[in-house]
Structure 1
Amino acid sequence: MSAITAPATAPGWLTQTGQVFRRWSLVSIREAWGPIMSLIQPVIWILLFGQVFHALGALPQFGSQGYIGYLVPGILMMTVLYSGAWAGTGFIEDIDSGVMDQYLTSPLSRSSIVAGQLAQQLVINLLQSVVVLGIGWLGGARYPGGFLGMLAAVGVATLLAAIFCSASAAVALTARSQIALISLSQLIVLPATFLSTTMMPAAAMPEWVQNVARWNPMTWAVELGRGGLTGAYPAAGWWQAAGLLALAVLAFIWSVRAIRNYQRSI
């Protein structure tokens, strides 16, 4: 009498996500020049732009931290914003190479495919955030909020990165075009940056820009990050953090729906 073989059980969601994370991590290691080159921009902004406008630090709107100290949290959020907006290019490369079709014919959970890539992107953004804070320190910025404040700033940056990484993945899986993704990214990231308090306090902006900046998630992240580094959080900090968390969840759901829609269309 032959023995009955029990059916193999599929690995759990965390294991599947870890497998996808490992695959994307190996890709990033082989193409490490990308994340490294993305750190050139914050060096330029902090060390060059910050020095050119150093005299602005004497204005009372910038408080005691000077312009460099004011600028660093904004550059921190800019770095993860720009990096996150390009995150979807990896999915387009997978679509063009046929890897995505192999994913979708495997027993991998669709959400684990998205989550694994997102986790890998967030690790890169986390490392970039630490480097940006180090560059800011070398440029003359100081962080009265201490270690916990820096941890809070990096946490907010990671939350902002989650929003744009997930949204970028959703756009990539929907448009399936590098040109469309890049064009849309540029259309969003530039206004998001300059219609916020990244480089200037709200009091120094025209009234209409102040009104837009108040509801700009980039402003929420910058103000929370600035509060962590200075030790003086904004009065609206709780609802800003809640807003960022809600947007991150919605963006992730959007990206999962996008990969399922892509599978139905092939």
Structure 2
Amino acid sequence: MSGLGAFWGLYKREVVKIYRRAFALVMTFIQPIVWIVFFGSSLNGMPRQYLVQFFGTPNYIGFILPGQLATSMLFTGTFSSMSVVWDRRFGFLKKILVTPAPREAIFFSKVMGAVTRGLIQIPVMLLAAAAFGVPLPLDPLGYLEWIAALVLLGVGFSSIYLAVAMRSSDWQLPQLVANILNLPLMFTSTALFPRNFYPSWMQAIAAVNPITFATEIGRGVVLNDPYAPTLLGYLAVFAAISTAVGLLVAKRFMTAE
């Protein structure tokens, strides 16, 4: 069995799992939409001049749209680790490990399965934002850069959470780690508010938070706000380091128990 063939077969399984679980698929769409509808609408009542002054747009939903898509890639990374947990508990991982399928193929199938789960939210979120009056520019190159940023972000966080799940024999640990990290990572980025809203110590974290990089690229597309071209490079470095660590852990510690 070739590594590519094993990856493709396992990746298709991850995708089929997404579409077969109708309720989970619907919740994948609803969760980020709830954020932009309720949280976004709660600040849209500010006077127009303050919205433009603080957020650079008269519609706050347009400001948080890129942040919510970036945050969704963070949260979908959790699903990659939980997929390994459930494959262990139901014995599927044991069956795969006795085949010639390389561990790298198993690792990448989980990572790309989680990334796919995050990417399918993009058209739904864009339609929801448009329904709330967010003007979406026609910028094909910008959208490609934005999608590339989200893919790199998803690969990075999925690799990190997979490394935790593969290294630990405690099936509850990956979820506990995610619960501890996800919200601080979201709130110490620029996903919800501009960096100048934060105290100095939070600004320092936001400046190196990968969610900030992906958010600012998306915000540059939606709000026509120029961003540093190096942001995509920073995300590529983040994804490469996280993937290298995840692969190392997968080779050494991936077990069926």
Aligned: 1:260 with 2:244: no
RMSD of Structure 2 on Structure 1 (CA)? 2.0
Could you tell me the TM-score, scaled by structure 2's length? Answer: 0.90
Identity %: 26
CA deviation after TM superposition for structure 1 residue 52, in Å:
1.1
Matches within 5 A, 1:142-153: 142-144=135-137, 146-153=139-146
> Which residue of the partner structure matches residue 233 of structure 2?
242
Matches within 5 A, 1:162-177: 162-177=155-170
Distance 1:200-1:145 versus aligned 2 partners, 3 A rule: farther
In 1, distance between residues paired with 2:196 and 2:37?
25
Q: Is the 8 A contact 1:80 1:125 kept in 2?
A: yes
Aligned: 1:54 with 2:44: yes
Q: Is the 8 A contact 1:80 1:129 kept in 2?
A: no
> Which residue of the partner structure matches residue 214 of structure 1?
207
In 2, distance between residues paired with 1:188 and 1:264?
25
Aligned: 1:26 with 2:19: no
In 2, distance between residues paired with 1:134 and 1:147?
16
Could you tell me the TM-score, scaled by structure 1's length? Answer: 0.87
SS of aligned partner of 2:99: coil
In 2, distance between residues paired with 1:264 and 1:123?
25
Aligned: 1:138 with 2:131: yes
**Which amino acid is the alignment partner of residue 19 of structure 2?**
I
Q: Is the 8 A contact 2:15 2:116 kept in 1?
A: no
CA deviation after TM superposition for structure 1 residue 144, in Å:
3.0
**Which amino acid is the alignment partner of residue 26 of structure 1?**
V
In 1, distance between residues paired with 2:36 and 2:101?
42
Structure of greater Rg: 1
Aligned: 1:157 with 2:150: yes
SS of aligned partner of 1:117: helix
In 2, distance between residues paired with 1:19 and 1:228?
35
CA deviation after TM superposition for structure 1 residue 112, in Å:
0.9
Distance 1:265-1:97 versus aligned 2 partners, 3 A rule: closer
Q: Which has the higher contact order (CA 8 A, sep 6+)?
A: 2
Query: How many residues end up aligned between the 2 structures?
Result: 254
Unaligned runs of 5+ in 2: none
**Which amino acid is the alignment partner of residue 182 of structure 2?**
V
SS of aligned partner of 1:140: coil
Which deviates more from structure 2 when the two are superposed, residues 138-147 or residues 211-220? 138-147
Unaligned runs of 5+ in 1: 1-9
SS of aligned partner of 2:167: helix
Q: Is the 8 A contact 1:153 1:225 kept in 2?
A: yes
SS of aligned partner of 1:203: helix
In 2, distance between residues paired with 1:203 and 1:26?
43
Deviations 1:37-58 (A, max 9, x none): 0222212111111111113453
Matches within 5 A, 1:1-266: 10=1, 12-56=2-46, 58-59=49-50, 60-144=53-137, 146-235=139-228, 237-238=229-230, 240-263=231-254
